[in-house]
C-alpha cells in the first residue's frame, strides 16, 4: 500500500484519523507513540489528528472466529465521524480488527488506510530476520494475517507454544483490565526470554496492548533477550509518512 503523502489539512498536509477504542489503553498508547515518533521541535511540527475511540466495538476475537457479532457496523459509524471531521489518512491501532476493514471502508473513498499488518511486516523484513515470533491474540494467529504478510518477504512466523501463548493472552487481558503496564514489564521480558530459546531472530509485537507493556519495559532500560519490531510503532511511522512527515526511527 502506498505511503505517498496525500493532500489536505490547513497546512497542506492530510489530517490523520485514528479509529480506536480497541482497546482504550492501546489507542492512548498509539497516540503517545505518534507524538514521540514525530520529528518535531515545536507544537506546529506535529500532524493534525482526529481520534474516535469507541470501546463498544464488538469483540474482534469472537467475530473472527464466527462466534460473535461483526464489528463492521460500529466501525463504519466511527469512520463516518472521522470522515466528517476531515480525516484523510486512517490509522487503526488494532491488529485483530484489520480483516474487517476492507468491508467497513466501502464508500469512504477519502480515507487512505495505512495497513498496520503490512507496515509491521515491512519493518520485520528490513531487520533481515528469517524467523520472527509473533506476539498476538489467538484470533490474529489463527487468521494468519501475519504469516501471509511475512511469507512473501521470506520471513517465517513462529507461533508461541502451549507454554508461552497462554501467558501472552494473560498479559493482553491484564492491560485491558487496567493493570498498570509498568507492573507487567517483567512478565513481558520473561516471555521474550522464552522465545529466545526457540531459535527466532526477533519478536514481532503484534498486539497493541502488548505494545504498551513493551514500551514500559524499554523505558526501564533492561535489555531484552531478542530484538523486536512493534506493530504500533510501525503504524505510527507509516501514518506520519503518509501525512507528509518524517518520522524518527
Looking up residue 36, the CATH number of its domain turns out to be 3.40.50.1860
Residue 212: predicted pLDDT = 94
180 in any annotated domain: yes
Residue 237 near residue 247, CB atoms below 8 Å: yes
Identify the DSSP state of 137: -
> Can you read off the three cell numbers belonging to residue 197?
530459546
- Per DSSP, the three-state class of 219 is helix
Residue 148 and residue 43 share a domain? no
The DSSP code sequence of 29-72 is: HHHHHHHHTB--SSGGGSPPEEEEE-TTSPPHHHHHTTSS--SH
Residue 122 and residue 68 share a domain? no
Marked catalytic residue, from 22, 136, 207, 213: 207
Residue 97 and residue 36 share a domain? yes
What does the pLDDT average to over 70-96? 97
What does the pLDDT average to over 93-107? 96
The model carries a pTM of 0.93
Residue 174 and residue 102 share a domain? no
103 in any annotated domain: yes
Residue 74 — pLDDT band, cuts 50, 70, 90? very high
Residue 249 — pLDDT band, cuts 50, 70, 90? confident
Q: Is 200 a catalytic residue?
A: no
Q: Are strands 156-158 and 202-205 parallel, antiparallel or unpaired?
A: unpaired
Residue 166 near residue 201, CB atoms below 8 Å: no
Residue 223 and residue 127 share a domain? yes
9 in any annotated domain: no
- How many Cα atoms are found within 13 Å in the side-chain-facing hemisphere of 133? 23
Distance CA 99, CA 123 (A): 20
Residue 172 and residue 91 share a domain? no
Total domain count, the chain: 2
163 in any annotated domain: yes
8 in any annotated domain: no
66 in any annotated domain: yes
Residue 106 and residue 151 share a domain? no
User: What tens digit of pLDDT does each residue of 22-48 get?
Assistant: 999 999 999 999 999 999 999 999 999
201 in any annotated domain: yes
Residue 95 and residue 124 share a domain? no
Residue 223 and residue 129 share a domain? yes
Residue 146 and residue 46 share a domain? no
Distance CA 228, CA 201 (A): 9
Domain containing residue 155 = 117-231
Residue 68 and residue 158 share a domain? no
Residue 130 and residue 105 share a domain? no
Marked catalytic residue, from 75, 79, 94, 216: 94
Output the CA–CA distances (angstroms, integers) from residue 94 to 18, 25, 35, 63, 180, in the order listed: 10, 11, 18, 14, 19
Q: Is 94 a catalytic residue?
A: yes
Residue 46 near residue 16, CB atoms below 8 Å: no
The DSSP H or E segment spanning 158 is strand 156-158
Amino acid at each position: 500500500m502506498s505511503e505517498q503523502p496525500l493532500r489536505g489539512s490547513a497546512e497542506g498536509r492530510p489530517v490523520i484519523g485514528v479509529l480506536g477504542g480497541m482497546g482504550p489503553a492501546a489507542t492512548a498508547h498509539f497516540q503517545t507513540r505518534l507524538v514521540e515518533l514525530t520529528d518535531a521541535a515545536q507544537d506546529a511540527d506535529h500532524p493534525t489528528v482526529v481520534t474516535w475511540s469507541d470501546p463498544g466495538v464488538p469483540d474482534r476475537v469472537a467475530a473472527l472466529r464466527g462466534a460473535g457479532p461483526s464489528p463492521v457496523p460500529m466501525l463504519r459509524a466511527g469512520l463516518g465521524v472521522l470522515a466528517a471531521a476531515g480525516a484523510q489518512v486512517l490509522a487503526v491501532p488494532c491488529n485483530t480488527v484489520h480483516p474487517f476493514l476492507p468491508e467497513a471502508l466501502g464508500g469512504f473513498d477519502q480515507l487512505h488506510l495505512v495497513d498496520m499488518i503490512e507496515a509491521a511486516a515491512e519493518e520485520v523484513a528490513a531487520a533481515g530476520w528469517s524467523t520472527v515470533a509473533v506476539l498476538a491474540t489467538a484470533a490474529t494467529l489463527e487468521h494468519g494475517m501475519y504469516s501471509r504478510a511475512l511469507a512473501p518477504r521470506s520471513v517465517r512466523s513462529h507461533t508461541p507454544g502451549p507454554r508461552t501463548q497462554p501467558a501472552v493472552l494473560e498479559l493482553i487481558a491484564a492491560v485491558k483490565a487496567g493493570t498498570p503496564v509498568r507492573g507487567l514489564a517483567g512478565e513481558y521480558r520473561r516471555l521474550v526470554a522464552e522465545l529466545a530459546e526457540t531459535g527466532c531472530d526477533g519478536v514481532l509485537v503484534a498486539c497493541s496492548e502488548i505494545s504498551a507493556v513493551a514500551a514500559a519495559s524499554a523505558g526501564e532500560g533492561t535489555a531484552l533477550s531478542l530484538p523486536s519490531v512493534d506493530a504500533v510503532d510501525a503504524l505510527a511511522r507509516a501514518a506520519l509518512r503518509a501525512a507528509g512527515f518524517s518520522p524518527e526511527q
